[in-house]
Structure 1
């Protein structure tokens, strides 16, 4: 039986779909509106649930897409398939910093916990790198775009630690853990993270990758930037253990940066050719 993928046209879901195709795993996508699925209507051995809404959407859409659709989806697949849920570290934010996005992801985890079959909850950090759906809206992509458009990258005037994860690495692990026999390190959800990085060093790496690709020199400027809604970088030990169990080789941050820069440059060249 195949693996069902929700949100298969999105940034993460399209990367999952591409990975399943590349390793020859049968999959089904395009399930339709999840809230309209009939009980028992989706025949699969596992479901990778990537569908959802980001903070940029209205509050009611966030809640519906992230939380409300879980119950009908679980009824549609039945009690036996493996459920792999793409959650978010936003659920770990302190109560005074919670927003509707984090609350909706927490509600999704609670709904998924009612599934009697195997459950894998992966709390995503910022995802970066190219996927079939594009380059996403990560700070890595935004900094690259700013460098190419303006020749400048703005970084905070104070030390700032961030983390991100290559979307292709995340998709490979999510596909691997659909195997119910795969060991799941630790208890409960696992944070997907490559570990903390200094934002200024990250900006320097992007500037260097742009120079290597285009020959342009990029200027870094210090500025006051708003605080991030993302929790502090998580301990990467559990994610590293899960990658090892899944047979997935982590992608170095510099590799993700270079691929992001190359994809941005290629997209700009194609746009200029059309103009």
Structure 2
């Protein structure tokens, strides 16, 4: 067999390749995951359309209107310590939190999938070197690693994105390596090799399509964890700096007032909890759909 042969897979090679059901992935997801996905899409649409909505400026306020309660005139969710509209800051803060939640996961998934695929397809030496490097990242708890980077590099959106990207490269790489190592030994891959298919063809047509769904299901569930971590960093002043709204930073700015009136923290806390639960539900739904366990329940 030559790597440059470019031979096509024979019928025998493709006969045992796993095939997904004809129904779409979405139709095979459990009902709870579909509901979670719809809510996420609605939230994403709302925050993306924020500049078009009749909202107050999230960066400016009036000290004469500071700390207004819920359902005050002109301020449905009240105002913060600077007199800024909380509804407006919640919408724009959710947009920032979604960016912080999604972007690092996308980057970490691409890098982790590449590392895991190379490690899974390589010999023992290369696999050991790459996986030991991944284990070094595992040696630091994710939150601690993000905390150390935020402290050493200074607060800011770029630092937060970098820190959260580094946190998830290791687990995604491990999942990808496990999947690729398992798939490379399956019968349909062995049949493809026997038929004279190139290594590139096997990788693109056989291994990546079968391993990718499991990696994506896992990565989707991590977005909620990212939102929670970024919210925690923001709450201790190591997230997105003021006055740019972000859910954790909103809580940080409200700390002094929250002790006297805990209801002031209700809106951002509920939003963080909601996002932290919705994305894992979608990830579980993708996993169930791939494994054939999805059902309307």
Specify the TM-score bucket, using the shorter chain as the normaliser. Answer: under 0.3
Rg: which structure is higher? Answer: 2
After TM superposition, the score normalised by the length of structure 2 is 0.25
Larger helix proportion of the pair = 2
TM score, norm. by length of structure 1: 0.26
- Which structure has more relative contact order (CA 8 Å, sep 6+)? It is 2
